[in-house]
């Protein structure tokens, strides 16, 4: 496959950046990869495991001469990072990101992107509950979706097409979407489910009549999956909810209404309502499996899997 970017800079060296690096090396579509992380400990770990061709001690050093710069830091600090690196970006370069929220990222990063540099936000819908530089693996994006969200109507189309080819080279499917719709879709498919998972695990922690040892020892698949989701990086998820407030609150409102309706059906003994509801939701699960976005294997196929 032809080389897509001569130099890529990864700012932030957690799970996504690490997986991007290994996937780039597998694909052979990039010349050099530089990286930077705020934590000296993370930079030392990255050097130790061979993550990135060069691990730099500043973001400014990392982006020097880079054709593609990817912000892999929590969405709450992306604006500050963009402000720092903005004056040092190569003319004609593309700046992208991997944030789970798009409108807030466009609003905070966009003003710091200089004329002649292309800003093309993106969001890989892939991840695990693990975090940090050692958590990455080349297959993370295989058959997963990456949403590219151009920052404005006049975003350079060639830069978008090039970034799309880059992600396809890492094994992903790619689709374009506008920022507000992206944030609503993700509030449904990711953000609110994470909040519910955190809440359910918190409820178990607060329910003193069920001991900690019982919660751990007798965890059935439902609660176990909640704990897997709730183990995700707390800084990232704090920033997601603070920056996608409107869409999350809208979906939470809808969720609360549905929950009250189910509560009423249980109280009244309305088995027909419950059965019809569970039948409808079961069909969504079948659709996810048929789309290749999960497996019907026991334990969701996660036993012995990095996913």
192: CATH:
1.10.3660.10
In this structure, the answer to whether residues 115 and 215 fall within a common structural domain is no
In this structure, the answer to whether residues 121 and 255 fall within a common structural domain is no
Q: Could you tell me if residue 241 is inside a domain?
A: yes
In this structure, the answer to whether residues 50 and 137 fall within a common structural domain is yes
Q: Could you tell me if residue 167 is inside a domain?
A: yes
**In angstroms, how far apart are the furthest CA atoms of the chain?**
67
Q: Could you tell me if residue 293 is inside a domain?
A: no
In this structure, the answer to whether residues 159 and 189 fall within a common structural domain is no
Q: Could you tell me if residue 279 is inside a domain?
A: no
Q: Is the pLDDT of residue 301 over 50?
A: no
Question: For all residues of the chain together, what is the average pLDDT?
Answer: 89
In this structure, the answer to whether residues 77 and 197 fall within a common structural domain is no
Q: Could you tell me if residue 157 is inside a domain?
A: yes
* CATH code for the domain of 135: 3.40.50.720
In this structure, the answer to whether residues 157 and 240 fall within a common structural domain is no
Q: How many domains does the chain have?
A: 2
Range(s) of the domain holding residue 56: 5-177
Residue at a domain's end among 116, 143, 177: 177
pTM: 0.84
Q: Is the pLDDT of residue 304 over 60?
A: no
Which of the two residues, 89 and 231, has the higher pLDDT score?
Answer: 89
In this structure, the answer to whether residues 150 and 198 fall within a common structural domain is no
In this structure, the answer to whether residues 48 and 145 fall within a common structural domain is yes
In this structure, the answer to whether residues 123 and 247 fall within a common structural domain is no
In this structure, the answer to whether residues 125 and 38 fall within a common structural domain is yes
Beta-strand relationship, 145-148 and 68-71: unpaired
For residue range 196-235, list pLDDT tens digits in order. 888 888 887 777 666 767 777 776 667 777 887 888 788 8
In this structure, the answer to whether residues 207 and 95 fall within a common structural domain is no
In this structure, the answer to whether residues 51 and 69 fall within a common structural domain is yes
Q: Could you tell me if residue 299 is inside a domain?
A: no
For residue range 127-155, list pLDDT tens digits in order. 777 788 999 999 999 999 999 999 887 88
């Amino acid at each position: 496959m032809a080389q897509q970017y001569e130099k890529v800079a990864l700012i932030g060296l957690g799970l996504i950046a690490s997986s991007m690096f290994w996937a780039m090396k597998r694909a052979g579509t990039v010349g050099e990869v530089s990286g930077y992380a705020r934590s000296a400990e993370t930079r030392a770990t990255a050097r130790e495991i061979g993550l990135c061709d060069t691990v730099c001690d500043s973001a400014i050093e990392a982006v020097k001469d880079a054709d593609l710069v990817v912000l892999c830091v929590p969405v709450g600090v992306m604006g500050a990072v963009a402000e720092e690196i903005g004056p040092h970006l190569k003319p004609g370069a593309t700046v992208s990101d991997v944030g789970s929220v798009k409108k807030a990222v466009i609003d905070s990063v966009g003003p710091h992107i200089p004329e002649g540099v292309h800003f093309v936000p993106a969001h890989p819908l892939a991840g695990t509950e693990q975090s940090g530089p050692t958590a990455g693996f080349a297959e993370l994006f295989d058959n997963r979706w990456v949403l590219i969200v151009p920052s404005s109507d006049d975003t350079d189309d060639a830069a978008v097409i090039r970034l799309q080819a880059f992600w396809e080279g890492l094994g992903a499917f790619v689709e374009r979407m506008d920022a507000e719709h992206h944030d609503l879709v993700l509030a449904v498919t990711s953000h609110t489910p994470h909040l519910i998972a955190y809440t359910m695990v918190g409820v178990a922690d607060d329910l003193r009549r069920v001991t900690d040892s019982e919660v751990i020892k007798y965890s059935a698949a439902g609660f176990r999956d909640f704990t897997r989701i709730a183990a995700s990086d707390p800084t990232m998820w704090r920033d997601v909810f603070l920056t996608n407030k409107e869409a999350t609150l809208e979906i939470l409102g809808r969720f609360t209404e549905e929950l009250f309706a189910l509560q009423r059906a249980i109280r009244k003994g309305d088995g027909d309502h419950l059965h019809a509801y569970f039948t409808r939701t079961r069909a969504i699960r079948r659709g996810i499996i048929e789309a290749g976005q999960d497996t019907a294997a026991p334990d969701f196929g996660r036993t012995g899997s990095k996913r």
